[in-house]
């Protein structure tokens, strides 16, 4: 009980957001470097490079079997983290983290609607408590809603009970707004995880989703051009690209770059999918 009280105290003590994502089964690729601790909201981002960064955008010829939408497709629960998708498929997933605490870029929702793309949004619980109206708007757009945890702190440094409390707190507040569970998709804030944390999350019904490419849009120096260049020169088959909805520069960087990124990825032959589609290989909402 003392450990549980300590976990809850740690949970309440910290708020902020950092993002992190990527696919691939453990054992088939090197594991991602663990992030360095951060306690500020000025850098709501993954720490370290995702698997596959550094390669230019040259789509690899892929199997082109048409897939019909399958609304029943679900990501298998496991403690094996996902770092990227099938490298033989011309699929890319833009995963959008929410909870940095700066102004939300509402124009991104207009861009996604106009281009008929429904990505996955990884939402922090503390943010959902403060901006239920914006979360409701995201959900109303038909986007997949996943968990980014409740608060930002190093999950590897706290008890199992504290990890459980964080995930359950996020689930409760997000589901209350959207009317649906975040399970099984979860991305640990700031990428804080280890084998124990992944095991605890899996026992709660979650699958850890990390990232292939960090767009760098969480930095205070990010611009529309820098985000565009980083994404377009490093994306490849099966990439999960993490973007942010409310980082300090999002309104003037990611939101401005997003239309061009979507159009040019599609122009290069990529299909844009959400995380469930990327992991399962089954089209659910992005089947057009």
Q: Using one digit for the tens of pLDDT, what is the confidence trace for 77-119?
A: 999 999 999 999 999 999 999 999 999 999 999 999 999 999 9
Question: Could you identify the residue written with the tokens 């990501």?
Answer: 75
pLDDT band at residue 14 under the 50/70/90 scheme: very low
What's the rounded mean pLDDT across residues 261-275?
Answer: 98
My answer on whether omega of the bond before 184 falls inside 30° of 0, hence cis, is: yes
The token pair that represents 115 in the structure block:
């281009």
**Per-residue pLDDT tens over the stretch 37-83:** 333 333 333 333 344 444 445 454 343 333 343 456 799 999 999 99
Is pLDDT above 50 for 18? Answer: no
- Record: fold of 2-25+72-280: TIM Barrel (3.20.20)
| φ and ψ at residue 252, rounded to 5 degrees | -105, -5
What the block records as the tokens of 178 is 């959207």
HEC secondary structure over the chain: CHHHHHHHHHHHHCCCCCCCCECCCECCECCCCCCCCCCCCCCCCCCCCCCCCCCCCCCCCCCCCCCCCCCCCCCCCCCCCECCCCCCCCEEEEEEEECCCCCCCCHHHHHHHHCCCCCEEEECHHHHHHCHHHHHHHHHCCCEEEECCCCCCCHHHCCHHHHHHHHHHHHHHHHHHHCCCCCCEECCHHHCCCHHHHHHHHHCCCEEEECCEECCCCCCCCCHHHHHHHHHHHCCCCCEEEEECCCCCCCCCHHHHHHHHHHHHHHCCCEEECHHHHHHCCCCCCCC
Strand pairing report for 144-147 and 213-214: unpaired
Does position 4 have pLDDT exceeding 70, yes or no?
no
Average pLDDT over residues 133-147: 98
Count of residues in the chain? 288
- For residue 227, pLDDT over 90 is answered with yes
Spatial separation of the C-alpha atoms in residues 273 and 281, rounded to whole Å: 10
Q: What is the CA radius of gyration of the chain?
A: 17
Give 96's strand partners: 121, 243
Higher per-residue confidence, 133 vs 44: 133
> Which pLDDT does position 118 carry in this prediction?
98
What pLDDT is attached to residue 72?
60
Report CA-CA distances (Å) from 27 to 78, 81, 170, 186: 13, 10, 29, 20
What does pLDDT average to over the chain?
Answer: 82
Domain ranges of the chain: 2-25+72-280
Q: How open is the CA angle 191-192-198, to the nearest 5 degrees? A: 100
**CA neighbours closer than 13 Å in the CB half-sphere of residue 151:** 19
Contacts of 138 (CB under 8 A, 6+ apart): 98, 109, 121, 123, 145
User: pLDDT per residue over 175-193, tens digit each?
Assistant: 999 999 999 999 999 899 9
What are the tokens at 288? 């057009």
Give the per-residue pLDDT at 287. 66
Residues 6+ apart with CB under 8 A from 57: 232, 233, 234, 235, 236, 265, 268
**Rounded average pLDDT over 147-161:** 97
């Amino acid at each position: 009980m003392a450990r549980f009280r300590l976990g809850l105290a740690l949970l309440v003590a910290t708020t902020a957001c950092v993002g992190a994502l990527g696919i691939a089964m453990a054992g088939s690729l090197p594991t991602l470097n663990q992030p360095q601790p951060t306690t500020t909201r000025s850098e709501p981002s993954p720490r370290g490079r995702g698997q596959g960064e550094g390669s230019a955008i040259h789509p690899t010829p892929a199997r082109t079997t048409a897939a019909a939408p399958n609304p029943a497709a679900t990501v298998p629960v496991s403690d094996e983290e996902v770092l990227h998708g099938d490298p033989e498929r011309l699929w890319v997933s833009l995963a959008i983290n929410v909870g940095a605490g700066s102004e939300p870029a509402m124009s991104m929702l207009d861009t996604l609607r106009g281009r008929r793309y429904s990505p996955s949004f990884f939402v922090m619980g503390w943010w959902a408590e403060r901006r239920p109206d914006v979360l409701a708007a995201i959900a109303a757009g038909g986007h997949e809603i996943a968990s980014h945890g409740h608060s930002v702190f190093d999950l590897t440094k706290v008890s199992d009970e504290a990890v459980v409390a964080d995930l359950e707190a996020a689930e409760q507040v997000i589901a209350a707004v959207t009317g649906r569970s975040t399970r099984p998709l979860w991305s640990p804030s700031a990428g804080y995880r280890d084998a124990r944390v992944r095991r605890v999350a899996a026992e709660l019904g979650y699958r850890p989703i990390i990232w292939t490419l960090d767009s760098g849009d969480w930095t205070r120096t990010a611009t529309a051009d820098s985000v565009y260049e980083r994404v377009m020169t490093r994306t490849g088959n099966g990439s999960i690209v993490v973007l942010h909805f409310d980082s300090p520069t999002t309104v003037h960087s990611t939101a401005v770059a997003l239309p061009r990124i979507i159009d040019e990825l599609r122009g290069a032959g990529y299909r844009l999918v959400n995380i469930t589609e990327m992991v399962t290989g089954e089209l659910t909402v992005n089947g057009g």
